[in-house]
Structures are given as C-alpha cells and as structure tokens.
Amino acid sequence: MTTLNPLIESKVDVLIIGAGPAGLMCANALASAGVDVRIIDKRAVGVAAGQADGIQPRTIEVLQSYGLAEPLIRIGAHFPRASFWNPGPDGGIVRTQRTPSIFSPTARYPYLITRHQGGIESLFHGSMEAKGLHVQRSTIPTAIQLSQVESELRDPKANPVKVTLKRLDLEEDDIEVVHAKFVLGADGAHSWVRNVLGIKLEGDNTDSIWGVLDVYPETDFPDSRNWTFIHSHNGTLMNIPREGDMMRYYIQLSEDPDFVDPTTRRVNKARANPDRLMETAAKIFQPYSLKMLGEPEWWTIYIIGQRVAQKFSIEDRIFIAGDACHTHSPKAGQGMNASMNDSHNLAWKLAHVLRGWADMSLLKTYESERLKFARDLIDFDRKWSKLFTGKPRTEANEDGISHEEFVGAFQTFSGFSSGVGVRYEASAIVAKQHQACAAKLVVGERMIPHVFVQAADIRAVNIHDAMPSDARFKVLVFVGNVADKAALARVRALAEELDAPKSFVHRYGQGDYHRVFDILCICAGSKDEVDFIDVPQMLRPHWSKWVMLRFLGELGLISLLIARVLLDDTDMHAREGGGGFAAYGIDAKAGAIVVVRPDGYVGMVAPYDRLEDISTYFGGFMVEKSG
C-alpha cells in the first residue's frame, strides 16, 4: 500500500529530470562547478546497447574540455573517410567517390567517433560519481508547479519550482516534494516536462521510414569500415562503423508498404524483424554479400519526425533540452550531439547565476542561442533527408538526385553537422564590434584550436587543453615579442591597467578574480628569446591558488598551470606549433584580447586600448562586486 508522507520534502538548486546525454552533461558540468544538483530518471537501469551513437568533432572537443574524451577516443570507432556508392550499369552498386568525412579545416578531431549511447553515458557516470553525484533511478515526476510571485521568480536565491516525485521502487515513503531553484527537463522526445507545461512542438512527420540494425556482419563489401552512403535501385542505406567489428545500418524501408499501417500511415513495428531488415539491406548491397552473424545487438524502425519546441524555457526557471525540444532524422548524427551541446550551453549560465556572479537575464541567452540553432538544425535536416532519401539520378530517372548534388551538399553542410561552424548571433554575451582585430576568430563561434608551446618548458599544448570547462571566462591576451623593450613596455602598461581597481577583472571578479577569470598570455616571441618570467605577474599564473590546483587536479590537468604563458613558436624539434597569430588573424605587433566564454565560444575580441568596451560587455550581464 502506498504511503503519502507529506513530511518528505527537500530543496535543491537544480533538479534535472532525465538521465540521457543531455541530462548527464548538465549534471556533470554543474557538479564540477560545485552546484547543488540532483538528477532523476524513470528507468531502473541505463542504456545497455543501441540508441544514439555518433559523436561529432565539436562534441569531442567539448568532452575533452571536461576531461572525458580520452576513453571515447580510445574505445570508439573512428571514421575519417566517407565513401559514396550509386547504381552501376549492371544493376548493382559501384563506388563513385571517396572523400574526407569532415570538411571543416579547423576541426581538432577531423573524424567522427561511434560508441553506443550507454558507453557515452558511462563517461559522465564515472565523472559524476567521483564528485559524489549519482542518478536517482526508478523515479518519475508527477506534478510540477511554478510560483507566480514575481519577486520569487526574479530572486536567484528563491526556490519557486515545486516538483512532486514518485519512487517506483518503493511501496512506502515513495512520494517526495522537491523545492528547486531551477529545473531542467531532459526527458526525451515524449517529454513529460514539455507536455505538462503546454509547450508545443512545431513541425511534422515525413513519409520516410527507416530501419536501424546494430550487427556483426559477414560481408565482402570493401568500404564497410567507412562512413558509406549507398543509393541503389533497391533503396538507400547508410553504413556506419561501430566499436569492435560491429556495424550499424540505416536502411530505407519506404518502398515496402508492409512496414506501414495503411490506415494510420504509422510504422507497424510488429511486422518488422531483424531478418527482414537484413534482407532489405542485402538487396541494397548487391552485388556484394551481406549476412548477419548471430543475433543483432539492437534494432528498431522509425519514421522521420522533424519538430522543434516553440520555447525552451518558462520564466527562465524551467528549461528543456535535447530531444525534449527538437527531434529530427538521426542520419546526420546530430541528436546526441545537439542534446549535449544544449546542456553545455546552459550549465555555465546556471552556475554563474546561482553563484551570484551574473544577473538572471543571462539565462535568456540559452533560449535565444539554442532555439535558433534548433531551427537551423531542422532546416538542415529537411534538406539533408530529402537528398538522402531521394532516388538516385539515372538514365531512366533524370529528375533524381545526382552524385554531384549529394556530395556537394555533404561538403557544404559539414561545418554545421560537425558542430565546428555553429555560430551564435550578437547578444549580451556575443559582442562583435572589434572583430577586425582578430579577423579569423569569428566572434560567436567556438575558439579555434591551435598548438602553441609553453614558455616555461617548450612543451607543445593545444590551446583548447589550456581552457578546461571550469565555468570561468578565459581572457586570452595576445602580446608581441616581450624580448623587445618597446613591446614589453606596452605589455606592462596593459597589465597595470588590467590590475587597476576599475578594470573588469576586479569589478566583476567577485573579490577574487581567479575564480571568475582565467588569464592566459600568448607571446609572439621566439623560444630562444623569451622567458615566461618576462611576462608581468598579472598575466602569469598565481601558484598559491589552491582552489585552482584542486579543480585542475580532478581533471588531471595540473601540469597545464605552466601553460598560462604560451609562445607562438614550434617545439624543440619543429614538429608542432607556430603560426597561431596568423591563424587567428591577429597582428603580432598590435596584439589583441580575446574573451572566451566558459562554453568555449568567443564572446568578444578587443584591442588593448578598449578595455572599457570589455567592461561594458561584462556589465551587460554580470553583477559587479569590487574586492
């Protein structure tokens, strides 16, 4: 018999509903930032196989910023090459072209990685458990109520969201009322949070029906370990390499009416089975052979739905992320990537507001940035799905999709699909007025990776690895050759101005600016001329900051403390490094200041003599506190 105990109540800063990739990304980021966070999920156990599996280059970069990419890179399947097959003259398929799988020249990882969703989620579980955070499973929300008192909604210290939870694994004391400051609904495409709040989805289903199989195949197909696109007279298929010797096949089923209920036009999964899917795939692969060894690891069929939520937040107190706010075709490998990057965008903003560092208005940028991205994603997915699903052009079908058209779109869309080309528009946290002083670092896009060398030991380091996701703004100060007296004088003057009480560093540094801002200095000088102690103390690490040491130690990045001063030069063997100022479009004599947001996106660039503009930038959303 269920016992309703009204005394079981609790408070939390952030309650996350749903422990898929979006929820776990947010929970891990908030836990890393020291936020009181709780995450629940209705499932008794996590995903064991199948589901989403493709990790794009930008998402690998994001995972690396949390110290989580190494096991994925080691275990997952990599595919740097794509291949394209079309109908041949004898009725089978022939290879038309091979290309790189990624056409984004600044991608640090120029390939995709596949790993089943449970394997991706395990990366977060291990990181969270080290911080004392665990997913509370077999738990569902049954009611959610948001206060209508304006003063509570605007007070970041208030707990205006009341969520009633039910434990499915208990018979007594199974009801709890949680009072949260913020709630994130990351509970999937059929989101309870979205539905109960009345947030509508815009869009519809297509007529395109697909099957998915994760199998160990026996095949003589030569491009099975490439990202392969096959257009044939027997249908369309996408071949995805998976970890080990596993393969994933996306198989077009639209031509087989037996998979569709003729009345409802919905997928009839009862009529499908793995053998039938493999039979369809084998026809598409002809003249090559294809057989399934043993039983499939996972399989499903689906109809493509392309929808986006009308809004991503309610009163900047309840948010939705991931599949809860956008659904689309899985064939461009966007679902899990878009979901995790939603949460990556939101987490640091919540942390800053909860710490009292930023105004509540900062949270509005989550919806403005990610809703536009989601709409762009749906637009991209419609174009890509139409090209992928369409019949190939042949002599008998001159109106079909040509190989040149398909590959051209594949290359054109690469910047967006890889995540590398995502750009946020001008806003309170994206200020573009001084773009010219760092012409190739596009404000609103992610910081471009580049290899520099540490001034202290000439060890090569990618600048991404010097900027972990620790909820701090990175202030990158690009200076000239400090071995030159005139250049050094300019740098010293800049350091004095940065350290002045009215500087943004102190105005918004919350009494200890190292907690808010991480300053890195990048010098244009030679390794044979520059010592890192030449750089003024303001632009070098403060070795006594034990809080920084502890955080970096948790990420395994203590050695990077000496990377606060970098040189735009090669390592001792001239294998890596050099050319950074040119790659970023920064004049080595003039220098520049680059403000990188905690999520790795360039928020602003400015010349030395416009520090007041940087102060204005931070004044637009941060809370001033001298110290």
Q: Determine how β-strand 517-523 pairs with β-strand 473-479.
A: parallel
pLDDT in tens, 548-603: 444 444 444 444 444 479 999 999 999 999 999 999 999 999 999 999 999 999 99
Higher-scoring residue by pLDDT: 506, 266: 506
| pLDDT given at position 6 | 55
| pLDDT given at position 262 | 66
Where does the pLDDT of residue 61 fall: very low under 50, low under 70, confident under 90, or very high at 90 and above? Answer: very high
User: What's the pTM value of the predicted model, to 2 decimals?
Assistant: 0.93
| pLDDT given at position 381 | 83
Residue 12: name the closest of 178, 193, 185, 187 by CA.
178
- The whole-angstrom separation of Cα 83 and Cα 404 is 13
Q: Which phi and psi (to 5°) does residue 459 adopt?
A: -85, 130
- The whole-angstrom separation of Cα 209 and Cα 352 is 44
Out of 296, 330, 392, 468, the active site residue is: 330
pLDDT in tens, 289-311: 999 999 999 999 887 778 999 99
- The whole-angstrom separation of Cα 459 and Cα 571 is 6
Residue type, 105: P
**In contact, 203 and 363? CB cutoff 8 Å:** no
- The whole-angstrom separation of Cα 282 and Cα 219 is 10
- 550 as an active site residue: the answer is no
Q: How is residue 253 written in tokens?
A: 């089923």
CA angle 258, 264, 270 (to 5 degrees): 45
| pLDDT given at position 552 | 45
Out of 41, 53, 316, 359, the active site residue is: 53
Average pLDDT, the chain: 90
Out of 249, 250, 513, 608, the active site residue is: 250
Does position 53 have pLDDT exceeding 70, yes or no?
Answer: yes
- 242 as an active site residue: the answer is yes
Residue type, 268: N
Higher-scoring residue by pLDDT: 483, 349: 349
Q: Is 152 exposed, middle or buried (0-12, 13-18, 19+ CB in 10 A)?
A: middle
CA angle 354, 358, 363 (to 5 degrees): 80
| Secondary structure string (H, E, C) spanning 511-527 | CCHHHCEEEEEEECCCC
| pLDDT given at position 408 | 87
- 465 as an active site residue: the answer is no
- 58 as an active site residue: the answer is no
Residue 452: name the closest of 469, 437, 464 by CA.
464
**In contact, 280 and 256? CB cutoff 8 Å:** yes
Out of 242, 423, 472, 564, the active site residue is: 242
**In contact, 421 and 594? CB cutoff 8 Å:** no
Residue 15: name the closest of 172, 199, 139 by CA.
139
Q: Which domains does the chain have, with CATH numbers?
A: 8-69+113-202+306-368 (3.50.50.60), 435-620 (3.40.30.20)
| Secondary structure string (H, E, C) spanning 263-293 | CCCCECHHHCCHHHHHHHHHHHHCCCCEEEE
